[in-house]
Structure formats: C-alpha cells, structure tokens
Structure 1
C-alpha cells in the first residue's frame, strides 16, 4: 500500500496499523457503508473516531499580527489568523456536546464554494451537522506535550484537517490547525471590525494558484509568515499570557500543556509546501510532514523548471517526510522538487507513497467521500478523483499513523 521508508515507517507498519484500527474507524462513522442520519436538511456525515487513550478538548484562538498588513485585501491594516487547538483533556465539562466540525456560518459558505471546487453534491448534505470528538473548553491535562501545527491545502479551510488533528491529540499531542484568511475558502471570525465588516471572509482564489506564479509566491510566503506568527503566540501562551486578540477565556492549564521544545509542522498541498519551507527558515520547528505539496515555484514560462524553494535547493538538517499518493494527477510535476530535497538532505528527508489513494485522502474527505458515494450523492469516479478507491477503513488509519509515528519518533523528549 505504501512504498518507501518514511522516518522509520514502512509498508508493513502502515498496513498492520490500518487493519488493527479498522473496527474503531467504522464504529466512529468513517466507513463508506455506515448508515447515515437523514433529516430535511440532508444527511449528516461523520468523522472517524480517534483511537488514542486521551479524551480531547478544543478551543479557538483569534490572533492578530499588527506588524503585517493583509496581503489579499488592502483595506485590512493587520493580519488576522484563526486557529483551532486540539489537546489532551483532563476532564469533561458536564454533558457539553462535542464541538461541530464547522460553525453554521462557515458551513453555509462551504456549501456554496467548496462544492464547486471539489465537485461535491450541491444539495443533500447538512454540512453544519457534523460533529468532532472534542469538547469545547475542557480543562487541559497539565502535562507538557509535543506541539504540532497544521496548514491546510490551498483554498481549503482548517476544518478539513479535523480527523488527523483529533487522532494526534488523542495520542498525546497538542495540535494547532491554522487558517490562512483570503486563501482559505471560508474563515469565520468571532466578530466584525471597522476594516472587516463581515464575520466570514471568503477566498480570493478563482482557480489553481499554481497557474499564477506571483499569486503562488504570495500565498506560500503568507502561509509561512502565518505559521511563524502562530508559533510566536504559542510561546506567549506557554509563558502564561492569553494570546487571543479579544482576551477570550482559554481552557484551564492550556498553556501548561505546551512543550515548545518539541514542535513539528505538517501540511497538505500548499500547506505541505509552506510547512517544509517554514521548518527550513525557523529553527524552532524540529520536524515536518509535507503531504503532497510542491517544493518549487511555478515556472515563469511553460516548459521551464520552476525555482526550487531553499528547503529543496539546499536540503534540510531536520527530519522531513514527503508523503504522496499514487493517484495524484501532477506527480510528474511534483517529482523534480521532491527529488532535489531528497538528494540535498543527506538522509534527513524520506519519501513514501499511499497506493490506491488520491490527493485529498489526507483530509476529512477520506472519510466523507465514501459516505457521499454510499448515499448516492457522489459517483464512484468523483470519489476516486478526490480521495482514491482505497476503503476508508484502510486509508484513514494509514494517513493518521504515518503522521503520528513520524512525529513520535522525531519529537521525543
């Protein structure tokens, strides 16, 4: 199923973990054949249950970088970033329900924008009804944990990385998923401002950013700056301060749960590009997982090679996992930059491949697309193009375990 060595993760390890986790996954709703709840608003999709021993808490952070202007909207004099923090929780808070995957407002915009991008069904799904397995505001375990930052794919919201983030948190990590406003399809903020009159900000993208070299450069540069800024704010949180720009209350002991001496990053597609280069530029990041992101700029002229990012041109001196899929339509364009990174990293970079899968298998679509197909809302061909034909009882554990085991090996105390 998976080819190549990936930081000590080989094909047998991934396959064994996938089989062992299949029963738990299906119980959590990740299987394509599981019965769906139907209402007048459509079916409710379910996220696969995390398999770790820890219950999960969740909170959001509204962060404002006053040293940067927004690159996508000249009317915004600061850079606003939204992040979600998943963490091992000490106790539950009464019978408070699990947090939704998306807010109602974000889900409505998602229904309008993302269905077009990914050929999802325009009707028949209640996108706001999907729940996570994390309880909002639950007290954190006051134990220092490794910290992982996640950057989603180009045009994607951070909410599509929930399944992997919950899995990592359930196994003892603090996971911070980062939205990149103006890039992400939709980002909902906790309120309005004089320079941003709406709570929800939509993407400026109207196509693949790789077709516009300057747009791609701006997107990746902004993502790298966002990641480093969030890391700055986490340092503030670990020091006992509240980094939320509105001063909203944070879960008890959240700052005490951060061990920033063990910090890694992972990202999908454009997020994979950004996290690999962010690690190259920032010594605070000790390991990175690039889930099928280019490591070069788009070519300025057709037929020419694109400029390599420094992480590919010079290599990395810290662990880097390059994890791809058999079904990625642009593998040929991806190969040169990945090969350069492998050549120049002197054994610190590893490459692996997930067979039977396609590009968005690294997101929550891995579990959702088969459910849509089972409900008659997605064709087999559309599902295959999105996530591949691999059953979610195999693909979801394979992705989760590849990321988790890589960081478990390289972010040890």
Structure 2
C-alpha cells in the first residue's frame, strides 16, 4: 500500500529538478487472447458529491477511468503509452522513489513503455462482461495495464479506476495533475483508512452508474469527448465483476457486498478489516462479518502474511463455499501488478538488484507469475460471469 508518500506535493516533485537522462525502456507482456484491444479514457465528474481530500476539498468528486475492450479493428489507430510524459515524470519521483524504494531512482524512461492497446479503435459490437478494477493504495491505475489488456483480449471490457487524492498521480484531460493528498498515513491512522475505503466505494458505485449511461448510448465524459465507435454496444451490464489489488481488493470485496450489480469479485491481497493499530486485527468489514451470496475469490501470497490478513480472510472463508482462496508460493504483494515483469527487466539491465526484486514481488520469476495471475483472475470470471 503506502510507504513514504504522504505529505509530498506535485509542485515539489515537478519542480525538484530535471529528470535523469532515460536509459532503459521496460516492456509489458503481450496479451494472449484472440481479440485485439482498444483503449480510451473517461473523465467522470460526480456533481452530487464533494471531494473529501485537502487538495480538492469541497469540489465535485472527479474520477479518471481507462477502458480496455475487444476491438473490431485496430488498423490505423495508434498504440497507447502506459503513462503520459507528465504522469511518468511524477511517477518516477513519487511512486518509484518514495512509494517503491526497491525501484531504481534513475535510468528508466517510464514514459517510453508502450501498451498493446490502440487508442480509440472501434469496439467489437458484441455485449461483453464488464470488469471494474480498483488500484492498490498509492499506485496509479496504469501499473495494472498488463492484466487489464489480457482480460480485454479474452473478451472482457475492463474499466480501471484511479481514486484521486490517494493515488501517486492522476492526470486529467485539461492537464491538471493530482498527487497523494491524504492528511495522514492510512496504515497507522485507522480513521483515514476507513474514510479512504468509504470514498473508494462511492467511486465504484458512481462509475457503475456512468457505465449505465454509456451502455444506454450516452456519453458520460465530463467534456463530451468522442467515444470509440460502438463502445456502448460492447458493455453487458447484466454481467459485472470487480477486482482489485491491496486496498483495491478491499474495495472490490466490499463493493460487491453493497452493490447487487456486481456478480463476482476477486480480492488480490486486500485486508477485510479496519485496523486498530498497524498489523493488528480490527473490526471486520461487513463483507467479512456477514459473508456474501455471490462468488468471491481471495488470492494472496506466502510472502505477505500478518495478523490482519490471516484473521480477516479466515473470517471471510468461514462463511462457506461462495468464497474461495488461493495462495501463490514464493511471491509477495506487488506480484499482481506490472512490477512483476518490469522488475525482472530492470534486474537484467542492472538497474535493480535481485534482492530488491524479491522484496517487491517475491522469488517467483515473471515467466511463471504473469501467466499464473492472468489464469487465476481470468478463469474465475469466465466461470462466474458465464450466462
């Protein structure tokens, strides 16, 4: 989740000096499904809700999402970068240096990474299951691009949310950029963690509301920017899943409990309680206290075990067979993100030590972890959203 990012501001980061000369470009693994992938972004503004965080206090709540979808054709449509140049510059300072100190503090051109998705490509006009993704605390939605692309290539529409104010960087279409603005560290201040999850749950509900506008043929983008052709025909909102990493896993699990529109969820190593003190079990979230009548898949690692994780997940599993569990061996917390393949390349380039790679993602090699995570998440949703 969060490490040393609280209290830093975008101004300090961007004005701290010229970035180091880029030397290495990291690559994302190719999706292996039968569909080519299109991508677009939506800027969504909730005028019924005000933002709770200090940098935007009292303003309408804004959410940025990226939509990956099976494309009818990609010919003539450019490949999307993983991050825009400005977002990559801030990521290199805030997330790569302070959020994930295992990563190199120079020598990587984060803006040069290309995805396998094509901007604005027309959607295949066939109704597809929709998956809502929520990021880990502090991480941008871009850092789970590889899994989102893979799922889209396998026939899902994947809608990835950032949660502005507690994400390392969120860039809006008008050029504004928000960084982390939480007043205190949610790992050690239970009230902040509780507030953070509450905001995320409202973000998820709002995004689902806006997807209903989109599926009905409307344009929910705040500026009315052009949408890819036939995108509205690709959404089957009768089949909705949610997945998330870390705090995003917490969000996906509780969102399914609260919102009947969500049919199944995957929790990639997110706590299911409100901490009283760091690492110690606290009050269970309602989903873990009461259970849920739809499929929930808890996926964890053997390298990320503490009392909160054990206790809250055991409570969830006690409710019966609707909840399944899988533990990945020789792995740890960020193995579920693009840091898994990226860190292996950085070790090969001698920009990162093997010890730091293991600390970030575990001993498991990317050649095994990437297809394993893809299969666990994809197979679960193929089973549970098939109808």
Normalised TM-score (structure 1): 0.86
* Residue of structure 2 aligned with 1:165, choices 139, 144, 148: 148
Q: Which residue does 1:114 correspond to in 2?
A: 95
Larger RCO, structures 1/2 (Cα 8 Å, 6+ apart)? 1
Unmatched segments (≥5 aa) in structure 2: 1-19
- The corresponding residue for 1:177 is 160
Who is 1:374 aligned against? 348
User: Aligned to 2:187, what secondary structure does the other structure show?
Assistant: helix
Q: Which among 355, 359, 363 is matched to residue 329 of structure 2?
A: 355
Mapping of 1:247-266 within 5 angstroms? 247-266=224-243
1:183 and 1:68 mapped to 2: Cα distance?
A: 17
SS of equivalent residue, structure 1 residue 84: strand
Contact 2:280 2:308 (8 Å CA) reproduced:
no
Give the distance between the partners of 1:303 and 1:250, measured in 2 at CA.
Answer: 44
Could you tell me how far apart the structure 1 residues matched to 2:154 and 2:109 are?
A: 30
Distance 1:225 1:165, change over 3 A: same
Q: What is the alpha-carbon distance in structure 2 between the residues aligned to residue 44 and residue 412 of structure 1?
A: 38
Is the Cα–Cα contact under 8 Å of residues 141 and 253 in structure 1 kept in the other structure?
A: yes
Q: Deviations over 1:252-280 (max 9, x none)?
A: 00000000000000000000001100000
Q: State the SS of the aligned residue for 2:49.
A: coil
Q: Which residue of 2 aligns with 1:85?
A: 67
Q: Quick check: 2:263–2:295 contact (8 Å CA) kept in 1?
A: yes
State the Cα distance separating 1:75 from its structure 2 match. 3.8
Q: Is the 8 A contact 1:155 1:205 kept in 2?
A: no
Instruction: State the alpha-carbon separation in 2 of the partners of residues 372 and 207 from structure 1.
Output: 32
Q: Report matched runs for 1:239-318 at 5 Å.
A: 239-299=216-276, 305-318=281-294
| Partner Cα separation in structure 2 for residue 76 and residue 42 of structure 1 | 42
Q: Deviations over 1:135-158 (max 9, x none)?
A: 000000000000001001001100
Q: How many residue pairs are counted as aligned between the two chains? A: 365
Q: What is the alpha-carbon distance in structure 2 between the residues aligned to residue 130 and residue 304 of structure 1?
A: 39
Match of 1:60 in 2: 41
Which residue does 1:42 correspond to in 2?
23
Residues 140 and 257, structure 1, Cα contact 8 Å, conserved in 2: yes
> How far apart are the structure 1 equivalents of 2:29 and 2:183?
31
Q: Does the 8 A contact of 1:295 with 1:338 survive in 2? A: yes
1:229 — aligned with what? 206
Query: What whole-Å deviation, never above 9, does each CA across 1:276-311 have from its counterpart, x for those lacking one?
Result: 000000000000000000000011x57964110000
Unpaired segments ≥5 residues, structure 1: 1-38, 193-198
Displacement of 1:331: 3.3
How far off is 1:93 after superposition?
Answer: 3.9
Structure 2 CA distance for aligned equivalents of residues 245 and 207 of structure 1: 30
2:297 aligned residue: 321
Structure 1 CA distance, aligned partners of 2:111 and 2:297? 33
Q: 2:377 aligns with which of 386, 391, 403?
A: 403
Alignment partners' CA distance in 2, 1:144 and 1:409: 17
Query: Relative to structure 1, is the Cα distance of residues 107 and 271 closer, same or farther in structure 2, using a 3 angstrom cutoff?
Result: same
Superposition deviation, residue 210 in structure 1: 2.0
Moved segments of 4+, more than 3 Å? 205-208, 301-305
Whether the 8 Å CA contact 2:28–2:338 is kept in 1: the answer is yes
Q: Aligned residue for 1:30?
A: none
Distance across 1 between alignment mates of 2:280 and 2:273: 12
Deviates more, 1:82-91 or 1:346-355: 346-355
CA RMSD of aligned residues (A): 1.5
* Partner in structure 1 of residue 4 of structure 2: none
CA displacement at 1:207 relative to structure 2: 7.3
Matches within 5 A, 1:137-216: 137-191=120-174, 199-205=176-182, 208-216=185-193
TM-score by length of 2: 0.92
> 1:4 — aligned with what?
none
Question: After superposition, what is the alpha-carbon deviation per residue over 1:210-236, rounded to whole angstroms, capped at 9, x for unaligned?
Answer: 211111011111111101100000000
Q: Secondary structure at the match of 1:323?
A: strand
Q: 1:128 to 1:317 in 2, by over 3 A?
A: same
Q: 8 Å contact 2:257–2:287 — kept in the other structure?
A: yes
- Secondary structure of 1:368 counterpart: helix
Measured against aligned partners, the alpha-carbon deviations of 1:325-353 in whole angstroms (never above 9, x if no partner) come to: 0111x433201110111112x21001110
